[in-house]
Amino acid sequence: MNHRITPIALLAPLAVAASPASAAEISTHVLDLARGVGGRDVPVVLSKRTPAGDWKKIASSRTDQNGRVRSFGDPKTLTPGDYRLDFDMAAYPDRAATPFFPEITVTIRVTDVGGHYHVPVVVSPYGYSTYRGN
């Protein structure tokens, strides 16, 4: 008996493997406006609002040398809902910095499971701002 596999049949498993599942991603970037550099080594906690209204910690990280947290782990765990990023600015290792805002909390709403949510925080000695980046 001669079993012949067609070229299309060989490509079918590759097409399935090459199509990643849609998942939301959250990343952040701390920008130190006073020094003109990324805010390195800042602890950041990502939490999600529960149906009861409480916050459940999803992940934590520290900003890298450029002030970035590129990922908070497996994006498949991020489903639509409200998320909170807590920045511990009191732990920012710049010895000259005595933050007026020792903690910064930013709350965002994830609606698109395939979306990328980049949340930069621009900090200065007496202020901060944030926006949805890309």
Kindly give, in sequence order, each residue whose CB lies less than 8 Å from that of residue 53, ignoring residues fewer than 6 positions away. none
The DSSP symbol for 90 reads G
Kindly give, in sequence order, each residue whose CB lies less than 8 Å from that of residue 64, ignoring residues fewer than 6 positions away. 38, 40, 70
So what CATH class is 21-130?
A: mainly beta
pLDDT > 90 fraction of the chain, expressed in percent and rounded = 62
Specify the pLDDT at position 60.
96
Specify the pLDDT at position 104.
97
How do residues 42-77 score in pLDDT, each as one tens digit?
999 999 999 999 999 999 999 999 999 999 988 777
Specify the pLDDT at position 13.
45
